[in-house]
Structure 1
Amino acid sequence: MANVLSNIGDWVGERAPGLAPFYRKHMSEYYAPKNFNLWYYFGVLAMVVLVNQILTGIFLTMNYNPSAAGAFDSVQYIMRDVEWGWLIRYMHSTGASLFFVVVFLHMFRGLMYGSYKRPREMVWLLGMLIFLVLMAEAFMGYVLPWGNMSFWGAKVIISLFGTIPFIGNTLVEWIMGDFLPADSTLNRFFALHVIALPIVLLLLVVLHIFALHEVGSNNPDGVDIKHGPKGNRWDANKPADGVPFHPYYTVHDLVGIGFLLLIAAFIIFFAPTFGGWFLEHDNSIMANNLVTPAEIKPVWYFTPFYAIVRMVPSFFGSAVWGVLAMFGAIAVLFFLPWFDRGQVRSIRYRGTGYKVALGLFVVAFLGLGAVGTGITAEVIPKWFGNVDLTTWENLFGRLMTIIYFGFFPFLWAYTHFGWEKTKPVPERVTGHD
């Protein structure tokens, strides 16, 4: 058997000589730090969810009808008449939310351990482009079931472009292809969601991984193992604090993948709508431009940014400032490597000010999510009694918005003027045998 496999390997190697060097560079001879912890699972988990979304999306596409007359009915047909259609749809809808869960945690890991800092700026920028494309992909996929919340959510989100001076209304009609979300909207969103954006997403993921493997992985200590001592049990010229990515981390990652699959299976089989968070109840009703849902709000992973739109008041008779703030909340993350002028990467050795600021940044993000999802509208009357809900919600939301944006100038000043008092950084990675 070994001889057969060896002969097959030789046969493939002769006809595709680039495969073996590629495998060695990115798998068996790519040395990753020894001290990866739980936070380093989320990159591979994002890859697993991406594969799930592509595979389930292919099967959903086989039975989906991208028209205003047939979209909703085709989804119901998938759920009721297609064999295992309900499972495929729930795998896709659950995967969409889990995708954002693991991506948000992956990004937070980068903030904690300084994975955006030199020499990994390109890795961070490509990751942010992935996040941007993922948001566009998710929004267009959200519209396709053509439920009532999908229809009105699409109308509200697209209408935000109408706040742009001079070209706003024309731009809205160009995006929708009509005066309201209709056949033309579904067709173009379907094409982008199924073909164009997945291709861009896959390309960016490949570039993200290649860029990472070119400069090497960061670690919880923020120590660059390439600049450390050489020599390990596999190669005398490789980093002493590294281990081959395959088989060590490929096997290691199977534990995290198994745990993710257990969580996904529980949701799919016992709580597929997740109480209206993953699949809204209003989307079980066909789109109707004459019946507005009681409350129009986007799916949960967009709510922090949607809340920012609501919290920025109109100036000079225009609401464009809220839209600019929403896009600015995403765009500012691209410039994080240049806001942070500090030399220490890991939160383990950074100053107290950075730890507090990062904690407040996370609280602000979650707080904006609470405003966007309507949690604050339920909680404020319970905690404070009969108060002016709008005033208190706006006060809380605007405070969270200020903290969110304030993180970046604070980080620049804190590191640029030398206010940060850091701890000594070890010369080698810690926390391993």
Structure 2
Amino acid sequence: MFRDHPVLSMVVGSLYRLPVSVNISYFWNFGSLVGLFLGVQIVSGFMLATRYSAYITQAFASVNHIMRDVEGGWVLRFVHSNGASFFLGCMYIHVGRGLFYKRYFSVHVWNIGVVLLLLSMLTGFLGYVLPWGQMSFWGATVITNLLSVLPWGSKIVAWLWGGYAVDKATLSRFYALHFIMPFVIMALSLLHLFFLHDVGSGNPQGFSTLKVDFWPYFGIKDLLGYMVVLVLFFSLVFFFPFSLGDSENFHKATSFITPVHIKPEWYYLFAYAILRSIPNKAVGVLALVFSICVFFFFPWFRFRSGNRLLWWWCFNFILLTWLGGCPVKVIYTMVAQIAGVLYFFLLFLCCC
């Protein structure tokens, strides 16, 4: 029956009968974990959208209404807010595994993956604005103001805001974009999988090895990975739901009070540390953009698989993430400047 039906045969061939190298490790689970959390975000986000109000006078109150009055609303809100961290965390590990095992030579697969990373980070930023707390408002103000370094930047910022400040037009636009972006990401993910299955998944050795069907051997391995990660995820949701957030977002947004320490979510902190460590705004914005877009150039690099310098780069990435969350002090700025240079220099050395 499956062989006769073109759509079903394609699905079975892409999932059930997909040939997979016998020696892949649990690091290959993170791609499917990204897909799992994308589904979690779409479902929970849709359910939250039925109760959320994208008006600046009602947005903060509507989130409180979901938390206090809607049956199970607090669970949905915590699943969605912490799910973003797990989604991007799994994506970072997935990209890191691709770097370590030279998967960027599959140009179409790699470049679509980098586009997915950029769109996911953008979607996370848009969603962070929606609760309309203090950190949401000022984060939106600071980040969107970075576009002012472009030619006619002030006009671009005013167009993006829909006025001369982050206001009701900004919130409604961000809400609309945040709602539609996951479906764009889902479509690109399917394209990513299409090209991946066309060239085949890699393996730690980097050359052709014995292959077996994806199911049941690696399907069960994926399910085990789901169970472990979901236990960690729901432990965070039910016991430490605010641990990855910021206390400033418990206060309703106001343009009259600026938070002492403005910082984004943890998954942007590495780029934020690079931006903040550079005194010149234009150069800082360029470095921030290049810290992600540099991955587009990897298919043309002679990157060495398993290079030990990549582990130093990972340590430096974690250091930058920590520095991005630190208050603005001379010592942190100096260390961030050194770590920012090392971020690009270590990548360059890995390619030599």
TM-score, normalised with respect to structure 1: 0.79
1:130 Cα shift?
0.4
Alpha-carbon distance in 2 for matches of 1:41, 1:291: 44
Q: Deviations over 1:271-319 (max 9, x none)?
A: 0011xx2x211111110110111211111111111111112222xxxx2
Residue of structure 2 equivalent to 1:177: 162
Q: Are 1:139 and 2:135 an aligned pair? A: no
Alpha-carbon distance in 2 for matches of 1:177, 1:224: 54
Residue of structure 1 equivalent to 2:286: 324
Within-5 A mapping of 1:161-240: 161-164=147-150, 166-195=151-180, 197-225=181-209
Residue of structure 1 equivalent to 2:138: 152
Aligned residues: 352
Q: Unaligned stretches of 5+ in structure 2?
A: none
Give 1 or 2 for the bigger CA radius of gyration: 1
Alpha-carbon distance in 2 for matches of 1:96, 1:27: 26
Residue of structure 1 equivalent to 2:339: 400
Q: Are 1:292 and 2:254 an aligned pair? A: no
Q: Residue 310 of structure 2 contacts residue 347 of structure 2 at CA under 8 Å; is this kept in 1?
A: no
Residue of structure 2 equivalent to 1:365: 317
SS in 1 for 2:317: helix
Alpha-carbon distance in 2 for matches of 1:35, 1:213: 17
Q: Residue 308 of structure 1 contacts residue 401 of structure 1 at CA under 8 Å; is this kept in 2?
A: yes
Q: Residue 339 of structure 1 contacts residue 411 of structure 1 at CA under 8 Å; is this kept in 2?
A: no
1:359 counterpart letter in structure 2? W
Which protein has greater RCO, CA pairs closer than 8 Å, 6+ apart?
Answer: 2
Within-5 A mapping of 1:17-28: 17-28=5-16
Q: Unaligned stretches of 5+ in structure 1?
A: 1-9, 226-240, 348-353, 378-388, 415-433
Instruction: Find 2:301's aligned residue among 330, 335, 339.
Output: 339
Alpha-carbon distance in 2 for matches of 1:20, 1:369: 44
Summarize the Cα distance change of 1:409–1:264 in structure 2 as closer, same or farther, 3 Å threshold.
Answer: closer
Within-5 A mapping of 1:28-427: 28-117=16-105, 120-164=106-150, 166-195=151-180, 197-225=181-209, 241-274=210-243, 277=244, 279-314=245-280, 319-340=281-302, 346-347=305-306, 354-355=307-308, 357-374=309-326, 389-390=329-330, 392-412=331-351, 414=352
1:31 Cα shift?
0.4
Alpha-carbon distance in 2 for matches of 1:58, 1:28: 29
Which runs of 4 or more aligned residues in structure 1 lie more than 4 Å from their structure 2 counterparts after TM superposition? none
Q: Residue 326 of structure 2 contacts residue 332 of structure 2 at CA under 8 Å; is this kept in 1?
A: no
SS in 2 for 1:335: helix
2:291 counterpart letter in structure 1? A
1:221 Cα shift?
1.3
1:170 Cα shift?
0.6
1:360 counterpart letter in structure 2? W
1:340 Cα shift?
2.2
Alpha-carbon distance in 1 for matches of 2:348, 2:146: 27
Q: Residue 275 of structure 2 contacts residue 287 of structure 2 at CA under 8 Å; is this kept in 1?
A: yes
Alpha-carbon distance in 2 for matches of 1:296, 1:24: 49
Q: Deviations over 1:107-156 (max 9, x none)?
A: 11111111112xx1211111101000001100000000000110001000
Q: Residue 147 of structure 1 contacts residue 282 of structure 1 at CA under 8 Å; is this kept in 2?
A: yes
Alpha-carbon distance in 2 for matches of 1:259, 1:106: 17
Q: Residue 161 of structure 1 contacts residue 168 of structure 1 at CA under 8 Å; is this kept in 2?
A: yes
Alpha-carbon distance in 2 for matches of 1:266, 1:24: 34
Q: Deviations over 1:78-109 (max 9, x none)?
A: 00000000000000011011111111111111
Alpha-carbon distance in 2 for matches of 1:143, 1:13: 48
Q: Residue 96 of structure 1 contacts residue 138 of structure 1 at CA under 8 Å; is this kept in 2?
A: yes
Alpha-carbon distance in 2 for matches of 1:332, 1:407: 12
Q: Deviations over 1:7-36 (max 9, x none)?
A: xxx5x987xx22232123202321001111
Cα RMSD, aligned residues only: 1.6
SS in 2 for 1:283: helix
Alpha-carbon distance in 2 for matches of 1:135, 1:367: 20
Q: Residue 123 of structure 1 contacts residue 211 of structure 1 at CA under 8 Å; is this kept in 2?
A: yes
2:168 counterpart letter in structure 1? D
